[in-house]
Amino acid sequence: MVDAEYPPTSAFAAGLKGRCPRCGRGPLFKDFVALAPACSVCGLDYGFADSADGPAVFISLIGGFIVLGAALWTELTYEPPMWVHMAVFLPLTVIVCLGLLRPLKGLLVARQYQTKAEEGRLKH
């Protein structure tokens, strides 16, 4: 199917919801973070998508800011023992990172589709 048959969808909405960047209806993922081979609704091949380490970088920055800020505020305000930090902020780190992984990967894949991003090549 041709892209002209589909109205433009928001890359942010489709990516954050884990939907196809072309039609906005089909699922983008087959597992938690593994991309499906193609859209089950419009047939878009997801072979173009390569988010590489992009989601990990954004998760490190965003999740680190959230968790480290909360841990620092807790330490300065309440001065709890170290075991409290481990009991609270270690699970919080895992939850925040896993919670951000799928939406950010979907967003990067959708932006790749929207901007027609391709691998860089050198001319010889």
Domain assignment of residue 68, given as a range: 3-115
Exposed, middle or buried: residue 113 (CB in 10 Å: 0-12, 13-18, 19+)? buried
80 — phi, psi (to 5°)?
Answer: -75, 165
Angle, alpha carbons 25-29-31 (nearest 5°) = 140
- The yes-or-no verdict on residue 81 having pLDDT over 80 is yes
- The yes-or-no verdict on residue 3 having pLDDT over 70 is no
pLDDT at res. 124 = 65
120 part of a folded domain:
no
123 part of a folded domain:
no
121 part of a folded domain:
no
pTM: predicted TM-score of the whole model, two decimal places: 0.86
Question: Looking at the 3D structure of the chain, how many domains does it have?
Answer: 1
Q: Are 6 and 42 in contact (CB under 8 A)?
A: yes
pLDDT at res. 6 = 83
Q: HSE (CB half, 13 Å, CA atoms) of 57?
A: 5
Rg (Cα) of the chain, in Å, rounded? 19
